[in-house]
Amino acid sequence: MSRPAYPHYRPSGIEWLGDVPEHWELRRLKYSASINDEALPETTDPDYEFVYVDIGSVDAAKGIVATETYRFEDAPSRARRIVRDGDTIVSTVRTYLRAIAPIRDPNDNMIVSTGFAVVRPRKLDSGYLSYALRSPFFVETVVSCSTGVSYPAINAPEVGNIGVTIPPLDEQRAIAAFLDRETARIDTLVGKSIELLREYRMALISAAVTGKIDMREEAA
């Protein structure tokens, strides 16, 4: 991460976030994205078949690692949330699992558990948003705001109240492209400590989405 920092920063007002580039905004998620827009109705055809993603099917580093196929009448009652390309799913139950994943080119019939908040960008680049929601400052806020001991949970409106950093759109796209390249490179490394690589991957995402590395040349 030997890239230059931005020349000017300002306090974010959030202790765990620190300073951010002075030209970036900090907004609550709900002002830049919608949450849980679509769901399967109870009147769905009993024979409707779909691909299902549950909380246990999402890995904090790898994203969606498994799916199951169900007919509607045989599916768990929690199999209801509809997802679209560009969404990000954020686990709102068992939040200690940190099950957050981008939705990229999904099956037309992909459905996820109601244990996820489905976040859909309205005024943000979808790639940037998916990294912002997987950054340590966002993930740890979700975990710390959860209630319950054995089954900690957070509700969707609380997720929407968490702040996210908002660079200009061209920088959002540059950050997403940079992180796509760098995380893909990290994921292909062999013979290294998996834990160390995961830590480096998260540190890189955190640095990029909190403005600790200057992405303006990438955006040009």
Which domains does the chain carry?
9-166 (3.90.220.20)
* pLDDT at site 2: 56
Give pLDDT tens digits for 123-172.
Answer: 899 999 999 999 999 999 999 999 998 889 999 999 999 999 999 999 99
Question: Is a pLDDT exceeding 80 seen at residue 72?
Answer: yes
The whole-angstrom separation of Cα 132 and Cα 210 is 8
Nearest to 5 by CA among 218, 211, 178, 205: 211
* pLDDT at site 15: 80
3-state secondary structure (DSSP) of residue 71: strand
Question: Is a pLDDT exceeding 60 seen at residue 110?
Answer: yes
The whole-angstrom separation of Cα 219 and Cα 217 is 5
Identify the helix (H) or strand (E) that includes residue 82.
strand 79-82
* pLDDT at site 73: 97
* pLDDT at site 198: 80
Please report which confidence band the pLDDT of residue 190 belongs to, taking 50, 70 and 90 as the band edges: low
Which pTM value belongs to this model? 0.89
* pLDDT at site 171: 96
Please report which confidence band the pLDDT of residue 192 belongs to, taking 50, 70 and 90 as the band edges: low
Per-position DSSP letters for 176-207, written without gaps between them: HHHHHHHHHHHHH--SS-HHHHHHHHHHHHHH
What is the C-alpha end-to-end distance of the chain, expressed in Å? 20
**What is the chain's mean pLDDT, rounded?**
92
* pLDDT at site 94: 93
Identify the helix (H) or strand (E) that includes residue 68.
strand 68-71
